[in-house]
Amino acid sequence: MPHAGRRPFAAAVGLLLSLLTVNAVFADGLQHTVRAGDTLSGIANEYGITVEILVEINDIADPNLIIVGDLLNLSAGSPPPAPHAGGSYVIQPGDTLGHIALRFDITVDEIKSTNGLDSDLIIAGQTLALSGRIANEQAPPAIAAPEASISTYDVPTAPIEIPSERPQSPEIEALIDELAPAEGVDPGVVKSIAWIESGFDQGVQSHAGAVGVMQLMPGTMEWLETDIFHQELNEDVSAYDNIKAGVYLLGFLQRQTGSQELAVAAYYQGLGATQQGVMYNETRRYVEGVMAMRARFWP
């Protein structure tokens, strides 16, 4: 559901597809929606093209300035880039309601109310109407970070580095062992996600607002509190509440995708993209890292 604050080596698909055989296929005409934290170099690396090509085909005057919400062409055959249209937004692969809400500085409830949504499930390609209060506003600019910065979801392009010794946090591991079975998820997978996301550190908070051991986004927590638990959780200060929410989310994604590996992919990149058969390269590395840690330390 890819965050700043992850450990230096850390990160942070479609149904019925094998994880190991999935590759993201980017045909001519595909575009990329600029997200908070994006850099041209990160986008170029993600799609296997060069910064120079992005600059040329999108007529970018300042490579260090890109605008959140804009569409960037990824090939010369792509349609002209379209800026954020005041009252609507086309859902892109990997989007979640939480990410969209943060991008346009509105709430998940506003998006759901405006569009008559009764859950957080969204499908790439659909158009969302945005709340009236931003109908005439442009998305705020996002200043591109230096070339050395990590990508939007704070995952390096190299594979995730697996620690040489088993990570240990008796308190966090005990909570995971207690909570995971109730949702039918593998405690080892949860521990691997928790370590990669936060290093078992409840105090971690990303620049995008993800918090705690499981690095949960505000939009995700709003959905869980409102539609699932029907009560407020203290996910920012309580490791128990944070892990409880993260474990439920992983179990929900596993039930939706029918696969442990695809659930991990959806945890990172969002359910919508996963159900559409999209697997980003960095998502694949994330899943491989999670499963490798599980196999090594919590088989």
298 confidence band (pLDDT: 50, 70, 90): very high
Sequence-separated (6 or more) residues with CB below 8 Å from residue 284? 19, 22, 23, 265
Question: CATH number of 31-143: 3.30.1490.20, 3.40.50.300, 3.10.350.10, 2.70.98.60?
Answer: 3.10.350.10
Q: What percent of the chain has pLDDT over 90?
A: 33
Q: What is the pLDDT of residue 177?
A: 97
Q: What is the pLDDT of residue 161?
A: 83
pLDDT for 232-276, tens place per residue? 999 999 999 999 999 999 999 999 899 999 999 989 888 877 877
Higher pLDDT: 74 or 18? It is 74
Beta bridge partners of 72: 32
Asked whether the predicted pLDDT for residue 289 surpasses 70, the reply is yes
Fold of 157-297: Lysozyme (1.10.530)
Of the given ranges (106-110, 144-148, 232-236, 282-286), which has the lowest mean pLDDT?
A: 144-148
Mean pLDDT confidence for 66-93: 61
pLDDT for 177-212, tens place per residue? 999 999 999 999 999 999 999 999 999 988 778 899
- Segments making up each domain of the chain, as ranges: 31-143, 157-297
Nearest to 67 by CA among 50, 85, 52, 49: 85
